[in-house]
Amino acid sequence: MAEPVIHKAETQGKTNWSVLLGAAFIMATSAVGPGFLTQTAVFTEKFAANFAFAILASIVIDIGAQMNVWRVITMSRMRGQDIANKVLPGLGHLIALLIVAGGLAFNIGNVGGAGMAVNVLFGISVETGAIISGVIAIGIFASKEAGLAMDRVAKILGGLMILLATYVMFSSNPPVGEAIVKSIFPNDYAALMLPTITLVGGTVGGYITFAGGHRLLDAGVTGHENLPRVNRAAVTGILITGVMRVVIFLAALGVVTAGLKLDPANPPASVFRHAAGNLGYKFFGLVLWAAAITSIVGAAYTSVSFLRSMSAAVERYNTYVIMLFIAFSTIVFVVFGRPVQTLVLVGALNGLILPLTLGVMLVAAKSRKIVGDYAHPMWLQIFGILAAATAAWAGWISLQGIANLWK
């Protein structure tokens, strides 16, 4: 049986925009998965409109990270771990280990999120829903055109998430003006460091930073001639992600501001149910399942891409390894469970990886042996440095609070 492929021929002719939009949605839906839904509900209930600061900070850091990473990967024609090994021999292997471990832990939570979604929609057990969703995700990669199938699923389900969440946002009637003010002037900046680094880790850190860039690399969208396309895909992905984050936060804020309590067993479900009744609850099931499936696909695809240059077998049987990654994540969840705690904790830990990975990309951006004669814009370099420094600072402050997430 021939292996399903994710190949470079996809970029020939009219497929360019489809691949670019697919990469944008893969990045966006990886960033706005069950982890983001859970983190946003949990922290909005605790910090109310002040959490707008963390939402805005994550979007700004996202711009600084994604624009730098996508450019360096596509201009160098190398994956993240190979670039890191060029910067410092052995560093790429360390980063690959951290990202694959984080991606696996996140994917266990993603599978759990999918199981919770199926439970909401059809009333069957979370474990059974997780197994069904895992099989569907594996089926996407069983397609002969796995790359195109992945792009198509990300675009359709990502669009569905935005539409349904927007309906719930308007139903919850959030205090938009207060959120805008608190996004710049929250009551307590220090108290928001752990939520900020957790959100950054769950939406920018770890494997998510490389999801779109690696997709473009596999599709052959590389080199100077494709720089405008790379920029377009990155900006599109950042805009889609930003819209998703703001809409879901405002939906949660409207519910919390009304004085309603969230169910600790399934915080984001409470948001949709309180805002739009039973219809909203079913909408939540669809949004969560769309978020979970696309995140399972994105996490597995990107995590395994970090192993490809380290093993000839993984390179040759890449798609089968992705399927095994999903199957293993599903089995671990069914045996151990705890999706809510896993998603919040791994988000915090992933945020601590971001300063390292982004820092490596910024060093590589100025190395001729890596990017050739490509001239990285100074404003983008400075923006990236500020994003990495902010993530590192917030991560340092948040370290003392991470242990409390598991209590």
In a domain, 349, yes or no: yes
Closest CA to 116 of 325, 277, 248, 270: 270
Q: For the domain that residue 196 is a member of, what is the CATH number?
A: 1.20.1740.10
3-state class (DSSP) for residue 266:
coil
Domain carrying residue 238: 14-406
In a domain, 3, yes or no: no
Q: Note the pLDDT of residue 322.
A: 93
In a domain, 382, yes or no: yes
Return the structure tokens found at 255.
């519910």
Q: Note the pLDDT of residue 338.
A: 61
Task: Kindly calculate the radius of gyration of the chain based on its CA atoms and give it in whole angstroms.
Answer: 20
Low-confidence ranges of the chain (pLDDT < 50): 1-15, 405-406
Q: Determine the Cα–Cα distance for residues 375 and 265; give it in Å rounded to an integer.
A: 50
Report pLDDT digits (tens) over 360-374: 999 999 999 999 999
Based on the structure, what is the number of domains in the chain?
A: 1
What angle (nearest 5°) sits at the alpha carbon of residue 217, between those of residues 205 and 2? 110
Report pLDDT digits (tens) over 181-230: 999 999 988 888 878 877 776 667 677 788 888 888 888 888 888 898 88
Render the burial of 169-180: b for 16+ CB within 10 Å, e for the rest: bebbebbeeebe
Q: Determine the Cα–Cα distance for residues 299 and 211; give it in Å rounded to an integer.
A: 8
In a domain, 222, yes or no: yes
DSSP assignment of 232-243 equals HHHHHHHHHHHH
Q: Determine the Cα–Cα distance for residues 118 and 129; give it in Å rounded to an integer.
A: 5
Backbone angles phi, psi at 6, to 5 degrees: -125, 95
In a domain, 173, yes or no: yes
In a domain, 313, yes or no: yes
Return the structure tokens found at 343.
């998603």
In a domain, 391, yes or no: yes
3-state class (DSSP) for residue 145:
strand
In a domain, 6, yes or no: no
Which residue do the tokens 């919850």 mark?
172
